[in-house]
Chain A
Amino acid sequence: MTAATEAPARPVRARASRLAPPLSFLRLLRIELRHNAMPWLLPLIAALFWFDSYRPSTGQASLYVLRTFWNMGQGHTIIDFGPWVAGVAAWMGSRDGRRRTADLVTGTARPRWTAQLATWAATAIWAVAAYLVFTGVMFAVYASQGVQGQPPWWWVAVGATAVAAFSAAGFAVGVFWPSRFAAPLAAFGGFLALIMSSQTGFHDSTGWALILPTNSNGNFQPDSGLLYPWLPDLPIARIMLLAGIAIAALGLLGLRARGDGPWLRWLAVAVTAAGVAAAGTAVGLATTARLSADGIVIPALHDAASDRPFSYTPVCDQAAGIPVCLSPYYGRWLPEVTAALGPVFSEMAGLPGAPVRATQVGTVYNSDDGGGQSMTIGGRPVVLSLSLGALALSDADGRATVDADGRATVLAEQLRLLAVHAFVGAGNDVGTSAQQAVQAALLQDAGVPLAAQPRLLTTSGLPSWAQAGNGPPGPATGPVYAEARRLAALPPAARHAWLAAHLTALRSGQLTLGLAATTANPAAKRAHR
C-alpha cells in the first residue's frame, strides 16, 4: 500500500459537485463533435448549396427580396440541408443499435437519454453552424455585389430551426430503427416531405398550409425589406412548428431510453407533450393568418409597429415633364421607368384625370390575383401610384427580361400597360370592351404594337386580369383590336379630342364598343345611323 491511498479522501466541494454533470456532458459533447459524421458531408452540401441555392438566385435583380425568394422563400436552403442532416442524424442515432453496444452503454453512469442528446446535439451543432456559415457567406457575396434592401433574417432563423428539426427527426428514426437503411429512409423521406410541402404551397395560399416550411405562398412580398419591414409573424409560427417537432422527437427518445429512472421518463413525457403542443399551436396560429399590404399577418403574433413603412428620400426624374419618384432601392431602374412612362404621359397630357406625378407604392403579392398588382390613378392632385415589385425588372447585370417572342422590352411595356389600364378606368379588372379597345389603341401609340399586345398580356408579374378572357397569346384580332386599330388610325389631335369628350363615359363603363367606333369615326357614325 502506498502513502497516497492512506491519505483521507477529500470531500467534493459543493460547487464542484454542482458543476460536474454539465462538465461531463460538455466532455461527452466534445467527444461526439469530434467523432460525428456530419463534417464529412459538408463539402458535398456546400457544393449543392452553391448549385441549388446560390447559383439560380444570381439571375434575379439585385434586391434581397428577389435574390432570396428562391433560396429562402421557396426554401431551397432547407431542401439542400434538411435531407442530408436527417440522413446523417439517423446514422448517428442508429449507432448503438447497429454496433450492438446498446446494452453496454446502458450500464454506464450517465442516463441513456442524456448520452443520446449529446450525440444529437453534436450533429445538430455541426449542421446548424454549417447552415449559418453557408448562408452568411451567401449574403456576404450578395452584399459585395451591391444587392439592395434588408436581408430576410427571420427566414434565416426559420431555416436554422428547420435544420435542427430535421436532425432531431432523423436521429429519432435512427434510434427507433437501428438499421443501415435508417439513413436513406430519413433522407429521402425528408426530401419527399419537403417537395410535397412546396407542392401544397403552390396550391394553398391560406389556412394551415402556410405553416409548411417550403410553402412560398405569400411569405415573401415583393417589397419586403425595401419599402416596409419583413413581417415576423409567419416566421415565428414556422419556428414554433419546427422547434415543436424537434422537441417532440427528442422527447420520444427519452420515452424509449432503457435504464433511466422514472423521473426521467416523466420528464420525457412532459418534453414530448410540450413539443406536440408547440407544433399544434403553430398550426392553429397559421389558420388565422391573412394577407395584408406588408405580408402575412397572424393576429396573435402581430406587432403593429411592424406595419410602419420605411421612410426614405425618394429619387426622382421627369417623364414627359411629370415627376416620377421611386424608392432609392429602385433607383437603378429610374431611367427605364421614366423612359417607359414618357410616351404614356404625353398621350395623357391635357386630358381629364391625367396624373401630375408618379410615386412608387408597395406591391402586394397575391397568388389568387396572378401575383401582380394594378396601378391606380387618383387623389388631389392626381397621382399615379406605381407598383414595381412584381414586374420584370432587369437582372443584376442589367439584362432585360425577354419574352417568348424575343422582345427585350417587357418591363417598359408592362409599365405602359398598367398605367394606361389605370387611366381608362378599368381598375383591378379586365375592363369593358370599350376600355380594352382604348387601352390597346393608347398602347399602340405609346410604342407597344397591337401585334405584340396579346403576348404582353401573358408576361409574368401582371395581375390576373391581364390574362382574363384573353386566353393563350395569339394574333391581335377580334372586335376589340379592330376598334383599337380604328382609334389608333385617327390623327393625334382627333383622338385627343375624342378622349377628352368620352373619358368620363369610358371610365364609368357606359361607353360600348360599337359606340366608341362610331363616335370616333364620323363616317362610321353616319353609317351607323
Chain B
Amino acid sequence: MTTADTREPLPGAGPAWPAERRAVTALRLPWLYLVSRRAPAALGLLAGLAVLLWSSLYWHWSISGGRPAQQFISLTIESAAAAVIAVTTYGPFGEPERSTGRWLPYLRLGAAAALTAIAYGALAAGATGGALPGGTGAMLRNLAGITGIGLLSAAAVGGAFGWTGPLAYLLVTEVALTGNPTTPWVWPARPPDDLGGALCAALLFAAGTAAIALFGARDSGRHSAPE
C-alpha cells in the first residue's frame, strides 16, 4: 500500500460528512484566526465606541469652534475604532503560522475588511443619536482612511503598536483643524463630498489592507514587540 492509496476511501469507511459539517469545518479556520486576533473583544470595543458616539451626539458633547472642530469628538471615536482594528492584526504565532498558513493573506484581508465594515455599521448605528457632523459619508471616509493608516502602522511597527498611527494622525489633524488646511490628506477638514479627500482616504485604506494582507503585522514572528 502506498500513500496514494489513502486518497481513496478505505473499504468499510463511513459515509461522507454532511453539508453542514463541511460548512462548520470550512469556517473553523477563519474562526480560529479571528479568535487568535481577539476579534470578539474587538467587536465588544467597537460596540462600546458606537455607544460612546451615540451618547456624544445625544447629549451634545460639542467642541467650540467652526465646523471642522465640531466633528472632533466623532473623529476621535472613529480613530479609536481604526486603532482597535489595527491592533487585531497582532498575531501570537509568528513563524509557524506564516510557514504553514496558506490562507493567511486571505484571512488577514478578510478580517481587516470585515472588521472595518462592522465598525462602520456600528458607528453608523451610533450616529443615530443626533446630527453627526459631515454625516455617515464623511464618517466612512474618515474611518477607512484612518484604518488604512493603522494597518500601515501595524505592518511597519507591529500589530501591538498599530494604534500609534491613528493617534498620530489624530494629533496632526487636531492642529490642522484649528487652521485652514488645504491639503486633501487632512480629509476630516474637507467637505463630505470632496473628491480629493475621499481619494486620499481610499488610497490609504487600499495600501493598508494590501500591506497587512501581503506582509502581516511586523511582530508576527519577524520581530518581537517591545516589552
**Which B residues are CB-close (under 8 A) to A48?**
168, 171-172
Q: How far does the Cβ of A78 sit from chain B's closest Cβ, in whole Å?
A: 12
* A199 on the B face (CB < 8 A): yes
Complex interface bits, A172-205 against B, C-beta within 8 A gives 1, otherwise 0:
0000000111011101100110011001001100
Q: How far does the Cβ of A215 sit from chain B's closest Cβ, in whole Å?
A: 12
Complex interface bits, B59-98 against A, C-beta within 8 A gives 1, otherwise 0:
0011110000000110011011001100100100000000
* B175 on the A face (CB < 8 A): yes
**Which B residues are CB-close (under 8 A) to A256?**
none
**Which A residues are CB-close (under 8 A) to B18?**
none
Contact across chains for B84 and A184 when beta carbons are under 8 A apart: yes
* B195 on the A face (CB < 8 A): no
Contact of B84 among A56, A92, A181, A199 (CB under 8 A): A181
**Which B residues are CB-close (under 8 A) to A36?**
226-227
Complex interface bits, B112-140 against A, C-beta within 8 A gives 1, otherwise 0:
00000000000000000000000000000
A196 to B161, alpha carbons, bound, how many Å? 25
Q: How far does the Cβ of A30 sit from chain B's closest Cβ, in whole Å?
A: 14
Knowing A35-B227, A52-B175, A181-B41, the reply to whether A195 touches B164 (Cβ < 8 A) is no
Contact across chains for A40 and B87 when beta carbons are under 8 A apart: no
Contact of A202 among B61, B64, B84, B168 (CB under 8 A): B64
Contact across chains for A40 and B175 when beta carbons are under 8 A apart: no
Counting chain B CB atoms within 10 Å of each CB, the highest count among A79, A87, A199 belongs to A199
**Which B residues are CB-close (under 8 A) to A223?**
none
Contact of A184 among B64, B163, B225, B227 (CB under 8 A): B163
* A84 on the B face (CB < 8 A): yes
* B160 on the A face (CB < 8 A): yes
Contact of A199 among B38, B63, B163, B175 (CB under 8 A): B63
Contact across chains for B164 and A44 when beta carbons are under 8 A apart: yes
Knowing A83-B167, A188-B80, the reply to whether A195 touches B72 (Cβ < 8 A) is yes
Complex interface bits, A408-430 against B, C-beta within 8 A gives 1, otherwise 0:
00000000000000000000000
Contact across chains for A87 and B163 when beta carbons are under 8 A apart: yes
Contact across chains for B73 and A192 when beta carbons are under 8 A apart: yes
How many A-B pairs have beta carbons closer than 8 Å: the answer is 93
Contact across chains for B175 and A51 when beta carbons are under 8 A apart: yes
**Which B residues are CB-close (under 8 A) to A87?**
163-164, 167
Counting chain B CB atoms within 10 Å of each CB, the highest count among A56, A188, A202 belongs to A188
- Name the CB-closest residue of A to B72: A195
**Which B residues are CB-close (under 8 A) to A56?**
175, 178
Q: How far does the Cβ of A231 sit from chain B's closest Cβ, in whole Å?
A: 25
**Which A residues are CB-close (under 8 A) to B38?**
179-181
**Which B residues are CB-close (under 8 A) to A202?**
64
Knowing A52-B175, A185-B45, the reply to whether A180 touches B90 (Cβ < 8 A) is yes
Knowing A37-B227, A95-B227, the reply to whether A199 touches B76 (Cβ < 8 A) is no
Contact across chains for A184 and B61 when beta carbons are under 8 A apart: no
Contact across chains for A180 and B160 when beta carbons are under 8 A apart: yes
A80 to B174, alpha carbons, bound, how many Å? 11
Counting chain A CB atoms within 10 Å of each CB, the highest count among B62, B73, B77, B171 belongs to B171
**Which B residues are CB-close (under 8 A) to A44?**
164, 168
* A91 on the B face (CB < 8 A): yes
A138 to B83, alpha carbons, bound, how many Å? 30
* A41 on the B face (CB < 8 A): yes
A91 to B159, alpha carbons, bound, how many Å? 12
Q: How far does the Cβ of A448 sit from chain B's closest Cβ, in whole Å?
A: 27
Q: Which residues of A37-91 are within 8 A (CB) of B?
A: 37, 40-41, 44, 48, 51-52, 56, 79-80, 83-84, 87, 91
Complex interface bits, B195-227 against A, C-beta within 8 A gives 1, otherwise 0:
000000000000000000000000000000111
Q: How far does the Cβ of B63 sit from chain A's closest Cβ, in whole Å?
A: 5
A56 to B64, alpha carbons, bound, how many Å? 19
Contact across chains for A199 and B164 when beta carbons are under 8 A apart: no
Contact of B167 among A35, A37, A179, A187 (CB under 8 A): A187
* B42 on the A face (CB < 8 A): yes
A83 to B168, alpha carbons, bound, how many Å? 10
**Which A residues are CB-close (under 8 A) to B227?**
35-37, 92, 95
B residues whose Cβ falls under 8 Å from a Cβ of A:
38, 41-42, 45, 61-64, 72-73, 76-77, 79-80, 83-84, 87, 90, 159-161, 163-164, 167-168, 170-172, 174-175, 178, 225-227
Other A-B contacts than A44-B168, A191-B167, 15 sampled, CB-CB below 8 A, are A35-B226, A35-B227, A44-B164, A52-B171, A52-B172, A84-B164, A87-B163, A179-B38, A180-B38, A180-B90, A184-B163, A184-B167, A185-B45, A195-B63, A196-B73
Q: Which 7 A-B pairs have the closest CB atoms?
A: A184-B163, A37-B226, A188-B80, A184-B83, A202-B64, A35-B227, A52-B175
Would you list 10 pairs from A and B whose C-beta atoms are within 8 A, ordered by A residue? A44-B164, A44-B168, A51-B171, A87-B167, A184-B167, A185-B80, A187-B163, A188-B83, A191-B170, A199-B62
A residues whose Cβ falls under 8 Å from a Cβ of B:
35-37, 40-41, 44, 48, 51-52, 56, 79-80, 83-84, 87, 91-92, 95, 179-181, 183-185, 187-188, 191-192, 195-196, 199, 202-203
